[in-house]
Structure 1
């Protein structure tokens, strides 16, 4: 079978979803799911139990047989972020590989958000029209809720909250047995967790539209007509549903919406969360979509494999996410733009010298964008603050290793000089340490070229000579500070690349 027909499996907290997809057309050939309550283990026990591992193996074997029946040879297996909450996640991952041959890749929160936005942007027919106005995408999984904003057709920002219905249910289960006003207490709990998200929302944007999607849509999923992938409802329609749910018994909900007992217990936290968001954001139009994270995996694979052009550049979301982080910590925009421009120019002109590709260029762009966020805490040794802020932040579309690499690059962009082989970062492979060293060296040079933070260099030409890199600058003022800074910070560049640096300036005034 052609390699454009690939299999996908996504392990969630309550089920394993699988699909067979033609990546040239993004048409689904086969799709299904196996209920495996993994979340019950790691939310309650903080580990995946042996009997659950056996159930996963059975599901994998059944899914693999379906893949074989269709002649699928390329299989992509992912686990949601919640998987990593189990203390024994890595042991179980190895056990499953040994028993099934399937190697599971765990996604980070930012990667999952990235995949979901790709799914919506490509597979949601009304995306282009409704996102001209403020739109918030709410992806509901068992353990968390990802809220992503769009305006004027472009990505705004994304935020993950530990407010998934299963997690809320587990937390509030003791309260339910001891209070009479359970709905009110749960509402207060949800409101308290929404405060940070609301505070970070861009000012002056009205979020008229809301899109609901995810693996834990509960009764919302039942509202989508058979044969359709989405349905629209308005505010009054949702208010009626909220009134029904908050006053109904579990038995009524199970009978009316054909739910299992596990599904029924998650109805109230799901509906209450969405209701509070609708009220707070004053959304008037609510779309319910059956798109899942696995749809985003398919879109991502189609783009990454060169099977299909998407009509947009997914990397733009990553850069916007980095810009948002820089804005949150009030970086000097002009210095950041100058440093980023110089860094990318150096990367492009020195390609034969460094031998890196498109993904490394993106990591450099992100690092140049967020390198000074630590100054928000303290300008002295700000690079150290930048490091831990980045490690604790979400940058859309980067996996955990890439976030660590960006944080390390920013840590070494300033005066502190790393060891050329970065031996103090054993968690990285030799190859990744070398990438970090190269990108750090380039960023140190770029940062030096605006050492005065006055953007004195108006234009830069980069020339590779036999034993040095010549930087010819058109300037509007004296650049002695830049030249002196480059002499200090450029030493690491010479260590990494084996060539010297020379900066020449020609005044344009």
Structure 2
């Protein structure tokens, strides 16, 4: 494959960014141009819930310039993503339509979990350093303008990720109405940050040792220049960062501007960012702070390179999504052996039915996650487990999944235990609107029905929770899905449950599932 030019656009809470990249198997991902424009979309959204007409005008003007730059490079492929400011704005659909009509650029709103996963891919693109760093307890701290994300690794597995509403612009807007000197304001910010972080530590850092911190986010790129050498620093010990932080807290705004080469508006955001990074360092007891120097646009390019197979990553990102899902199942006390058996059965059914269900690799992943967390609702109570499971899933971010995908999984878990009614399947209409028209309401309903039918049948295959059918074989013959087991004991419970779920499965796929028990010859 020849070198391909690709453009990434980040419609962020505080700035618009365009990155032009060369992507090739031989040379990997190389940024060849970068343009940014400061525009505080988040200020409007976080204060008023809407993006003003004046900012829409300014944004369209800048994006039109981006479109002209892309045309000059003769770029045919690009991705433009909008994050929290656009995500939380009540008028976001109108704004996106204005951008499309006036600039020709299609902007897609991505969920917080997708945004953080994309940035994470940019870090992972630095294969050698990343893989070496995460062998010891590691936390990625991604401080944005609207919120921050803390992701925890155990060896090379992503085990947990949590979003906290501690974005630097959001904090700055909260502080804008408080009359206080620099020291008092910094103390208030520290207290605000500590309040969230102490809760996080109690819930997610218990008995967990963190040796390394990976810092990403726009502000850390500027803070890393503050070593006095004028060059960005990529690795800092906790002691060195502490010394740097103690000098920074006493600096007036004009000194921060001079030292970091930013305007007053941006300088006001660096102090909250430094406080967050320092408090996380102190809270975790991490010894080393790695600053890989990546932006969201770098992550968008990495995502494109991975999905088009232009660049091969050694790290398995799908396993990260599954690891986070399994950690969620563990947190909500899901039955481990039953869950593992369910996971195997849903994948076996899915793979056996490829010619009949019309679903792909991504839907297979959604089904697998549904099986892993299908019983999480029992953590709340043994009655109405479907509704409880739905609420837990919709309240829990799963890194790498869009809001729409999470809602699909939540509905599959819900309808695993209650009757399926095509006319009563409900979900947030705005979610599939953000998929650029790729899915209709009917598409989503049918997908939920397909995944539910498979999940129900797999659940029936381990009705006793004793994994009796674990070694069964599946095949489709003459309009039947034959599930054949050589288990020699009693499978009455499984057979009854299987027969109960067979009608719905046949209704969805036109294939009748049949359970057969073959006795072993003695």
TM bucket by the smaller chain?
over 0.9
Paired position in structure 1 for 2:366: 363
- Confirm whether residue 128 of structure 1 aligns to residue 131 of structure 2: yes
Q: Secondary structure at the match of 1:457?
A: coil
Paired position in structure 2 for 1:4: 4
Paired position in structure 1 for 2:432: none
Partners of 1:482 and 1:506 lie apart in 2 by 15
Matched-pair contact (CA < 8 Å) for 1:3–1:73: no
Q: Secondary structure at the match of 2:470?
A: strand
> Cα distance, 1:305 vs. partner?
1.6
Paired position in structure 2 for 1:20: 20
Q: 1:386 to 1:138 in 2, by over 3 A?
A: same
> Cα distance, 1:156 vs. partner?
2.5
* Unaligned segments of structure 2, at least 5 residues: 430-439
Paired position in structure 1 for 2:472: 460
Paired position in structure 1 for 2:165: 162
Q: Secondary structure at the match of 1:129?
A: helix
- Confirm whether residue 47 of structure 1 aligns to residue 47 of structure 2: no
Partners of 1:259 and 1:442 lie apart in 2 by 55
> Cα distance, 1:229 vs. partner?
7.0
Partners of 2:248 and 2:146 lie apart in 1 by 21
Q: Name the TM-score, length of structure 1 as normaliser.
A: 0.94
Q: Secondary structure at the match of 2:334?
A: coil
Deviations 1:285-313 (A, max 9, x none): 11223201221111111111222221232
Alignment of 1:337-352 (within 5 A): 337-352=340-355
Q: Secondary structure at the match of 2:365?
A: helix
State the aligned residue count. 508
> Cα distance, 1:271 vs. partner?
1.4
Q: 1:91 to 1:224 in 2, by over 3 A?
A: farther
Q: Secondary structure at the match of 1:240?
A: helix
Q: Secondary structure at the match of 1:216?
A: helix
- Confirm whether residue 72 of structure 1 aligns to residue 84 of structure 2: no
Matched-pair contact (CA < 8 Å) for 1:425–1:433: no
Q: 1:407 to 1:438 in 2, by over 3 A?
A: same
> Higher mean Cα deviation, 244-253 or 179-188?
179-188
Q: 1:227 to 1:471 in 2, by over 3 A?
A: farther
Q: 1:420 to 1:3 in 2, by over 3 A?
A: farther
Q: Which runs of 4+ in 1 moved over 6 A?
A: 224-229
Partners of 1:2 and 1:70 lie apart in 2 by 16
> Cα distance, 1:495 vs. partner?
0.7
* Unaligned segments of structure 1, at least 5 residues: none
> Cα distance, 1:422 vs. partner?
6.3
Matched-pair contact (CA < 8 Å) for 1:422–1:437: no
Paired position in structure 2 for 1:472: 484
Q: Secondary structure at the match of 2:146?
A: coil
Partners of 1:207 and 1:82 lie apart in 2 by 31
Q: Secondary structure at the match of 1:175?
A: coil
Partners of 2:411 and 2:341 lie apart in 1 by 21
Q: 2:211 aligns with which of 192, 200, 208?
A: 208
Q: Secondary structure at the match of 2:368?
A: helix
Paired position in structure 1 for 2:66: 63
**What CA RMSD, in Å, does the superposition of the two structures yield over aligned residues?**
2.3
Q: 1:183 to 1:424 in 2, by over 3 A?
A: closer
> Higher mean Cα deviation, 6-15 or 497-506?
497-506
Q: 2:497 aligns with which of 477, 481, 485?
A: 485
Alignment of 1:16-415 (within 5 A): 16-24=16-24, 25-123=28-126, 125-177=128-180, 181-217=184-220, 219-223=222-226, 231-414=234-417
- Confirm whether residue 446 of structure 1 aligns to residue 436 of structure 2: no
Q: 2:444 aligns with which of 432, 437, 452?
A: 432
Matched-pair contact (CA < 8 Å) for 2:157–2:323: no
Partners of 1:267 and 1:500 lie apart in 2 by 62
> Higher mean Cα deviation, 494-503 or 357-366?
494-503
> Cα distance, 1:420 vs. partner?
5.2
Paired position in structure 2 for 1:419: 421
Q: Secondary structure at the match of 1:77?
A: strand
